Amino acid sequence: MRLFSATLATETNTFSPLPTSLASYQESVFYRPGEHPTDAPRMCTAPLFVARARAAAEGFTLIEGSCFAASPAGTTNRADYEFMRDEILDQLRAALPLDGVLLGLHGAMVAHGYDDTEGDLLERARDIVGKDCVIGVELDPHCHLTLKRVRNADVIILYKEFPHTDVADRAEELLTLVLAAIRKQIKPVMSVFDCRQIGSYPTTLPLMRGFVDRMKAMEGKEGILSISIGHCFPYADVPELGGRILVVTDADKAKADFLAREIGEEFIAMRGRTAPEYMSVAIATNAFPVVMADPADNAGGGAPTDNTTILRELIARDAQDAALGPIWDPIAVRLCFDAGEGATFPLRFGGKTGPASGPPMDGLVTVTKLARDCLQSFGPTQVPLGNCAAIRVGGVSVVLIDNRTQALGLELFRNVGIEPTEQKLLVVKSTNHFMGAYGPIAKKVIYVDADGPLSRDYTKIPYTRVNRPIWPLDQDTTPGLIF
Ligand SMILES: [Zn+2]
DSSP letters spanning 421-464: GG-SEEEE--SSTTHHHHTTT-S-EEEE--SSSS-S-GGGS--S
- Going from the Cα of 333 to the center of ligand 1, the distance in angstroms, rounded, reads 28
- Going from the Cα of 130 to the center of ligand 1, the distance in angstroms, rounded, reads 31
Contact indicator for 241, 233 with CB cutoff of 8 Å: yes
Q: 302: closest CA among 63, 60, 12?
A: 12
- Going from the Cα of 318 to the center of ligand 1, the distance in angstroms, rounded, reads 35
- Going from the Cα of 94 to the center of ligand 1, the distance in angstroms, rounded, reads 32
- Going from the Cα of 11 to the center of ligand 1, the distance in angstroms, rounded, reads 8
- Going from the Cα of 106 to the center of ligand 1, the distance in angstroms, rounded, reads 8
- Going from the Cα of 105 to the center of ligand 1, the distance in angstroms, rounded, reads 11
- Going from the Cα of 203 to the center of ligand 1, the distance in angstroms, rounded, reads 12
- Going from the Cα of 232 to the center of ligand 1, the distance in angstroms, rounded, reads 9
Q: Would you give the DSSP letter of residue 299? A: G
Distance of CA 380 to CAs 43, 71, 218, 303, 436, Å? 10, 17, 27, 24, 11
Crossing angle between the packed helical segments 117-129 and 78-94, to the nearest 10 degrees? 20
- Going from the Cα of 138 to the center of ligand 1, the distance in angstroms, rounded, reads 12
Number of other CB atoms surrounding residue 303 within 10 Å: 33
- Going from the Cα of 340 to the center of ligand 1, the distance in angstroms, rounded, reads 37
Distance (Å, rounded) from C-alpha 403 to C-alpha 330? 8
Per-residue pLDDT of the chain (483 residues; tens, 9 = 90+): 999 999 999 999 999 989 999 999 998 899 999 999 888 888 799 999 999 999 999 999 999 999 999 999 999 999 999 999 999 999 999 999 999 999 999 999 999 999 999 999 999 999 999 999 999 999 999 999 999 999 999 999 999 999 999 999 999 999 999 999 999 999 999 999 999 999 999 999 999 999 999 999 999 999 999 999 999 999 999 999 999 999 999 999 999 999 999 999 999 999 999 988 887 777 666 555 589 999 999 999 999 999 999 999 999 999 999 999 999 999 999 999 999 999 999 999 999 999 999 999 999 999 999 999 999 999 888 899 999 999 999 999 999 999 999 999 999 999 999 999 999 999 999 999 999 999 989 988 999 989 999 988 999 999 999 999 999 999 999 999 999
- Going from the Cα of 165 to the center of ligand 1, the distance in angstroms, rounded, reads 10
What is the reported pTM? 0.88
Model pLDDT, residue 456? 87
- Going from the Cα of 388 to the center of ligand 1, the distance in angstroms, rounded, reads 25
Distance (Å, rounded) from C-alpha 137 to C-alpha 75? 22
Reported in sequence order, the residue ranges of 146-239 that DSSP labels E, i.e. its strands, are 155-158, 188-194, 224-230
What is the rounded end-to-end Cα distance, in angstroms, of the chain? Answer: 30
Model pLDDT, residue 275? 87
Contact indicator for 152, 119 with CB cutoff of 8 Å: yes
Distance (Å, rounded) from C-alpha 156 to C-alpha 174? 8
Model pLDDT, residue 285? 62
- Going from the Cα of 159 to the center of ligand 1, the distance in angstroms, rounded, reads 8
Distance (Å, rounded) from C-alpha 304 to C-alpha 307? 8
- Going from the Cα of 129 to the center of ligand 1, the distance in angstroms, rounded, reads 29
Largest CA distance in the chain: 69
Distance (Å, rounded) from C-alpha 325 to C-alpha 403? 13
- Going from the Cα of 112 to the center of ligand 1, the distance in angstroms, rounded, reads 21
- Going from the Cα of 35 to the center of ligand 1, the distance in angstroms, rounded, reads 26
- Going from the Cα of 142 to the center of ligand 1, the distance in angstroms, rounded, reads 5
- Going from the Cα of 59 to the center of ligand 1, the distance in angstroms, rounded, reads 33
- Which ranges of 3-153 would DSSP assign to H, the alpha helix? 22-27, 46-58, 78-94, 117-129, 147-152
CA 3 to chain CA mean position, Å: 26
Beta bridge partners of 247: 191, 227
- Going from the Cα of 405 to the center of ligand 1, the distance in angstroms, rounded, reads 13
Crossing angle between the packed helical segments 46-58 and 167-182, to the nearest 10 degrees? 50
- Going from the Cα of 254 to the center of ligand 1, the distance in angstroms, rounded, reads 30
- Going from the Cα of 44 to the center of ligand 1, the distance in angstroms, rounded, reads 10
Model pLDDT, residue 17? 86
Residue 139, helix vs strand vs coil? strand
Distance of CA 225 to CAs 7, 156, 178, 217, 420, Å? 24, 11, 11, 11, 42
Model pLDDT, residue 204? 93
Residue 274, helix vs strand vs coil? coil
Residue-wise burial string across 98-117, b where 16 or more C-beta atoms lie within 10 A, e elsewhere: bbbbbbbbbbbbbbeebbbb
Model pLDDT, residue 131? 96
